[in-house]
């Protein structure tokens, strides 16, 4: 019913194709209401006080996290996180990843983890009053191809480290490590990337079955640590890149996922799921993906 999950470029506002276009879109009437939504979230007081400000140039319908778009060549990226525990009573999902490209460009190479609700348990929720079961997977994706499952088992609480690095022109090494279980995976892929941006993202992914953004589950919070990128041949952290924070909004213009300010000298941050309802979702037209 729901088909394959895709992890893709950010949806900003109707009429805006990427984050850079957001400022040209008519701003929401009151950003004070968005701040209030963050303060009413499920986050701890310490996390909420550190949430980045919400403005007309840093909100998305499906992304939360940080993006670096300063002019230059991005040839590597990496970070670590602990797989969050997903909760929901409806079909929903979340995805945590790092990637290169995708900001204002059709290309994107990514690696990460996701949780997706088990559709077989959704119908039984009302009768049992129990939460939906979730399936957790590791994956990588090079647009426009479909995601590839990484053969390393993951579960909530596992510590993960990922990286993408260019080895030779158009040849990329994708690395995934489950530190908790000491299981590793590496693969080399050929991909013509624009190398125009770097991203550390918590996403509400797209379902090919419904051509819509899947409702964001309650993942609690996820912390990106030891985040880095290689720009113009130099390894730097998020702060050194001048990256900007993105907060995820619902189509009721409520904050769904709030991004914190940077910590640890500019190499870490958290994304916190608020109590806002993730529905309604954004529907797309036909999704053209390679099989």
Strand duo 171-178 + 183-190: pairing: antiparallel
> 176: which 2 tokens?
């995934």
Task: Going residue by residue through the chain, which has 291 residues, state the pLDDT in tens, using 9 for 90 and above.
Answer: 344 555 555 543 322 223 222 222 222 222 233 333 333 333 332 333 345 444 444 889 899 999 999 999 999 999 999 999 999 888 889 999 999 998 888 899 999 999 998 765 555 554 454 567 899 999 999 999 989 999 999 999 999 999 999 999 999 999 999 999 999 999 999 999 999 999 999 999 887 666 778 899 999 999 999 999 999 999 999 999 999 999 999 888 889 999 999 999 999 999 999 999 886 444 443 333 333
Q: What is the pTM of this model?
A: 0.80
- What pLDDT is stored for residue 96 in this prediction? 98
- What pLDDT is stored for residue 279 in this prediction? 65
Q: What is the CA radius of gyration of the chain?
A: 18
> What is the C-alpha to C-alpha distance for residues 175 and 172, in angstroms, rounded to an integer?
10
């Amino acid at each position: 019913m729901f088909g394959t999950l895709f992890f893709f470029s950010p949806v900003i506002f109707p009429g805006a194709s990427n984050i850079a276009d957001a400022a040209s879109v008519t701003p929401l009437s009151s950003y004070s209401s968005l701040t209030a939504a963050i303060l009413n979230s499920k986050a701890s007081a310490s996390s909420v006080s550190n949430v980045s400000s919400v403005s007309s140039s840093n909100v998305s319908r499906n992304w939360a996290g940080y993006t670096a778009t300063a002019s230059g060549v991005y040839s590597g990226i990496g970070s670590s996180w602990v797989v969050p525990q997903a909760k929901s009573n409806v079909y929903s999902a979340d995805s945590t990843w790092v990637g290169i490209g995708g900001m204002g460009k059709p290309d994107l190479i990514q690696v990460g983890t996701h949780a997706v609700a088990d559709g077989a348990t959704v119908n039984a929720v009302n009768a049992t009053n129990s939460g939906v079961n979730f399936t957790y997977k590791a994956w990588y994706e090079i647009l426009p191809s479909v995601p590839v499952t990484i053969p390393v088992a993951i579960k909530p609480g596992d510590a993960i480290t990922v990286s993408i690095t260019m080895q030779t022109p158009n040849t990329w090494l994708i690395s995934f490590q489950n530190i908790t279980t000491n299981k590793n995976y590496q693969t080399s892929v050929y991909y013509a990337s624009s190398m125009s941006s770097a991203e550390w993202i918590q996403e509400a992914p797209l379902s090919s079955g419904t051509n819509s953004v899947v409702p964001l589950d309650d993942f609690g919070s996820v912390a990106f640590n030891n985040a880095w990128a290689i720009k113009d041949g130099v390894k730097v952290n998020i702060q050194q890149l001048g990256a900007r924070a993105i907060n995820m909004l619902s189509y009721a213009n409520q904050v769904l996922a709030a991004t914190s300010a940077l910590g640890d000298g500019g190499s870490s941050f958290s994304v916190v799921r608020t109590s806002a309802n993730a529905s309604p979702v954004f529907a797309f037209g036909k999704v053209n993906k390679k099989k």
